[in-house]
Amino acid sequence: MSERDIFEDALCRVREIGGDAGVDPEVIAALMHPKAMLTASLPVRMDDGTTRYFVGYRCRYNTVLGPTKGGVRYHPQVTRSEVQALALWMTVKCAVVGLPYGGAKGGVIVQPKELSPLELERLSRAYVRAMADFIGPDVDIPAPDVYTNARIMGWMVDEFEAIHRVRAPAVITGKPIALGGSLGREEATGRGAYLVTMELIRRRGLDPKQLSVAVQGLGNAGYHVARLLQKEGLRIVALSDSRGGIHASEGFDVDSIWKEKQASRQMRAVYCQESVCELVAHRQISNAELLGLDVDILIPAALEGVITPDNVAGIRAPYIVEVANGPILSDAESVLLERGAVVVPDVLANAGGVTASYFEWVQNRSGYAWTLEEVRERLAAMMSRAFGAVWDVAEQEQRSLRSAAYALAFRRIGEAVGAHGTREYFQAGRDAPG
């Protein structure tokens, strides 16, 4: 997807859904423009003594509901447009779940697999030095994203605290537990997706034990949603990573494949007992083939823009749960909806991560840590409430789940915008003091 396309595609949905939902034009106008965007050159001393320069971005999209929140990704294909689109989606996501946040996103153009651990640390600290006046516990709170993790967040917190000479664990979430991280944060995106998938199954009256699932992208989120769905009796028949996938109609043991992937860095169809793993019958497939499998539930959990007008005709799953951000382009989704497919949108399906990040932020600010069970219970309650609210709007107004989620988010944002006064208020001069 071109740099222009991804952000334009995101804005297209804002215009179309906002207009159809009768949202005040001032709200739509506000959501068409990022509040602030910072681009920085990050000098990093490499292990061989040379200095390389990396481009870093941070977008604070909208602050009407509160400080902005969003991850930082390290990827060679990061673009300014992608960061803006992701920040817009995060704005909608936070409003859908009811979090007191606006949306943000950050990224660095880098292939992190090519860096040594020390180079990765220097890059992470350089990013925070560049963003030190742009982020903060009451301003903008970063978190992990693609190819970033708890350790990297720990380096970032340490650098921010050293620059400002304060103790500020709430500036970044997704940290190691020892540095103020929250129990349950690592699994939260996948667990949230699992929770909304089970809500979908319940409301559609489906039998979990009769359902097959294909998951594109066995990263952290993909692993946890697959693992948890398998425990509910669903058959996980296909899994993939960036290099390709595996398929077996009788299903896989997700934990065995994950264990092998962590040990060998390879996607291998295995079944493990203790330390002994053996290959199981399967066939190798490409990521493109995985998307077109005849399964009940398709879960794109990799990167954005994987289902396009060019390949949508081959998508056969009647239910799609977007664990990745923006995996379905708007033109492709219209085809799926006409066909009767049900799409659980990313702004709902993967909101478990930002919800658990909110929990971590709350714990850091209060100085009180919750148990894992408390985190899971609160996450289940919020995800269930959010799914129910979106489902009700979809049912009552005959909308798709994405249209319902966006309409719900825009209305909540609109209430905050309206509290400051809109064109109608100022033209009418109502409630003037004096």
Are 58 and 158 contained in the same domain? yes
| Residue 90 included in any domain | yes
Q: Is 261 a catalytic residue?
A: no
| β 212-216/235-241 pair status | parallel
Are 293 and 225 contained in the same domain? yes
Report the CATH number at residue 111.
3.40.50.10860
Are 44 and 174 contained in the same domain? yes
> What span, in angstroms and rounded, lies between the C-alpha atoms of 326 and 82?
10
Element (H, E) at 412: helix 401-420
| Residue 206 included in any domain | yes
pLDDT at 433: 56
Measure CA of the first residue to CA of the last residue in the chain; give whole Å: 56
> What span, in angstroms and rounded, lies between the C-alpha atoms of 137 and 366?
13
* Mean pLDDT lowest among 42-46, 183-187, 270-274, 426-430: 426-430
Are 240 and 168 contained in the same domain? no
| Residue 152 included in any domain | yes
> What span, in angstroms and rounded, lies between the C-alpha atoms of 276 and 262?
15
Last-in-domain residue among 179, 205, 239: 179
| Residue 98 included in any domain | yes
Place of tokens 């996450």: 379
> Are 410 and 19 contacting, i.e. CB atoms less than 8 angstroms apart?
no
| Residue 223 included in any domain | yes
| Residue 203 included in any domain | yes
Higher pLDDT, 325 or 142: 142
Closest CA to 215 of 239, 187, 179, 188: 239
> Which pair of structure tokens corresponds to residue 201?
């199954």
pTM of the entire structure?
0.91
Are 174 and 200 contained in the same domain? no
| Residues spanned by the domain of 300 | 188-349
Which of 35, 69, 93, 105 is an active site residue? Answer: 105
Q: What contacts 358, CB < 8 A, 6 or more positions away?
A: 69, 99, 100, 101, 173
> What span, in angstroms and rounded, lies between the C-alpha atoms of 94 and 189?
14
Q: What is the pLDDT of residues 241-262, one digit of tens each?
A: 988 999 999 999 999 999 988 8
Averaged pLDDT of the chain? 93
Q: What is the pLDDT of residues 385-424, one digit of tens each?
A: 999 999 999 999 999 999 999 999 999 999 888 777 766 7
Are 218 and 175 contained in the same domain? no
Q: Answer whether residue 4 shows pLDDT above 50.
A: no
Q: How many domains does the chain have?
A: 2
Are 137 and 119 contained in the same domain? yes
| Residue 252 included in any domain | yes
Q: Residue 36: which region, alpha, beta or left (left: phi > 0; alpha: psi -120 to 50)?
A: beta
Are 76 and 56 contained in the same domain? yes
Q: What is the pLDDT of residues 193-241, one digit of tens each?
A: 999 999 999 999 999 999 999 999 999 999 999 999 999 999 999 999 9
Q: Strand pairing partners for 37?
A: 59
| Residue 378 included in any domain | no
